[in-house]
Amino acid sequence: MTAPRLLLPACLAALALLPASASATTFCVPTFSAACPNDGTTVAQASLETAMSTSGSDGTADTIVLGPGVFSTTSTFTPTGTDALTVVGQGAGASFLTSSSGANVFVVSLTGRGPTLLRDLSIVVGESFPTDNGSALNADAGTILRDVEVELRNPPSPGGTGSYGLTFNGGISSLERVRIAPSGSGALATALDVGSATPTGLTATQLTIEQPRVTAIRAESGSPVTASRVVVLGARSTAVLARPATVTLTNLLLTMAADAPPVAATSPNATASSVTLDHATIVSSAPGATTPPVAATAQSTGGATVTVTNSIVAGFTAAGQRSATGVGPARIALSASHVPGVVGAAGPGSTSATDMVLSAPTFADPAGSDFSLAAGSAGVDAGTPGTASPTVDLNGNPRVVDGNGDGTAIRDIGAYERPAPPPAPAPQPSPTPTPTPAPGTGTGTPGTGTVPGPGGGTMAGPADTTAPETFRRGGPGSRLRRGIATFRFGASERGVRFQCRLDGGRARPCTSPLTLRRLRAGRHVLRVRAIDASGNADRTPLVLRFTVPRRR
């Protein structure tokens, strides 16, 4: 997209006929701001749709900088052209893309155009969409979403499934720090639909999906999907479905709110299908859940395989089910994991279980949705030996560490790596007489962390300058409709203190768990910062966004 040029004075009109080189344009929507100042190269554009459709194929990459606020279309935002495009907002929860359409459409469509990056914004499926219809985004090759939140506000029909999140067909796309969740009275059907029409590659990291009623991740057409540090909360049906596809998930927390199979690989044709889980924690809160947690189903000539390593399955009575009704084999392979029960088998294929952890690992606070490992848990240092990937856990903390303090570092099983216990205090030496120093000899000062320096001075010991990282353990809980939210959080260091700031209020000392009461209906932002004993504060506070629904 190239900026419109100003008309030249009549005396220089002939110069306008000379060829001009194309250059990248930055559009400031709806006007200039501190984030998009008038520096002579930027263009103020009141309409986002106009900015998206201005000279999109002149061979130069372009940027649209959104101010805070709601940007709405009557149909679908559809950037035109083949140039690379970046659309950047002022943060998820600050800049919103939405549609007032009453039809079953996408809020944003990025198909058939050049590479596109959307970042620091929210995409909202509003209440105007038809019941159980509407979707946030449709995209194909070269699409990147970074620091994006997808909100589904459209209420479902009675017993319905709700609206849809992101659809990808063709090429390779990626997601980084993306959250897909219903808000208010809305409902989420399928969060990620990959390759329903054509093979599609998708990579994702730090992906959060909340309360999917149909599927969290659905991949088809043999599509390869790879994701790490994934959280799926409150799934009500098959959360991860490869039909057929190749899905690989690492550092996964998956909680089930209904008696349904969390993970399934299905091959209905000649294409093989597989799901591979490494360092997964899968927990069912459904009373008496009898559905197997993993399922491999081969219905034709293509095989179906589910592989589970270094993982924990809790709340289920069976280990899995493999079923082959055609000539293609169905396989389930379990290793270095805790998966209670036995695997049911029917038809061609195989079942294996090696180096299994028999004792059930204990969690830090399962009632509070904290599924990190408790001290002394059977899951600590129980995984596959070695230091191969992944090198971090779900929270980004180092993996592998010596979590049980036996002197050997072995990876934990499940999504979380328990920190190493603090070292035992060194034995105190017997007191000895302090000799009188010779003239000109420095002396250390006991208890001050200093060492003797030249000429009688002192030198400080090494200072702690590393700031802790703050991470989420759970929340906001199930009492939002009553205006109550409870959050649990932690830090990468021991002995830290926390500061919390709700919305635009002042930062105040806080502890985990933190319960907020008398919350008004609407969207809220809680920021949590860890500060260690040396005063080092986390420079990137934990940001927790949540919505309190209106009471009816």
Q: Are 209 and 232 in contact (CB under 8 A)?
A: yes
Q: Is residue 208 part of a domain?
A: yes
Q: Is residue 182 part of a domain?
A: yes
Q: What is the pTM of this model?
A: 0.77
Cβ contacts of residue 407 below 8 Å, gap of 6+? none
Residue in the block written with tokens 């990459």: 61
CATH number at residue 115: 2.160.20.10
CATH number at residue 504: 2.60.40.10
241-287: per-residue pLDDT in tens? 999 999 999 999 999 999 999 999 999 999 999 999 999 999 999 88
Of the spans 8-17, 280-289, 330-339, which averages the highest pLDDT?
A: 330-339
Q: Is residue 435 part of a domain?
A: no
429-479: per-residue pLDDT in tens? 666 665 555 554 444 444 444 434 444 444 444 677 888 889 888 888 767
Q: Is residue 306 part of a domain?
A: yes
Q: What angle do CA 505, 511, 516 make, to 5 degrees?
A: 50
**Average pLDDT score over residue span 131-136:** 94
**Rounded alpha-carbon distances, angstroms, from residue 226 to 175, 252, 307:** 10, 12, 14
The pLDDT value given to residue 466: 86
Residue 81 structural domain: 26-315
377-400: per-residue pLDDT in tens? 999 999 998 878 899 999 999 999
Domain count, the chain: 2
**Cα(538)–Cα(466) distance, rounded to whole angstroms?**
9
Q: Which of 315, 336, 363 is the last residue of a domain?
A: 315
**Cα-based torsion angle of the residue sequence 71, 82, 207, 268 in order, rounded to the nearest 10 degrees:** 120
Q: Is residue 498 part of a domain?
A: yes
Q: Which of 315, 333, 348 is the last residue of a domain?
A: 315
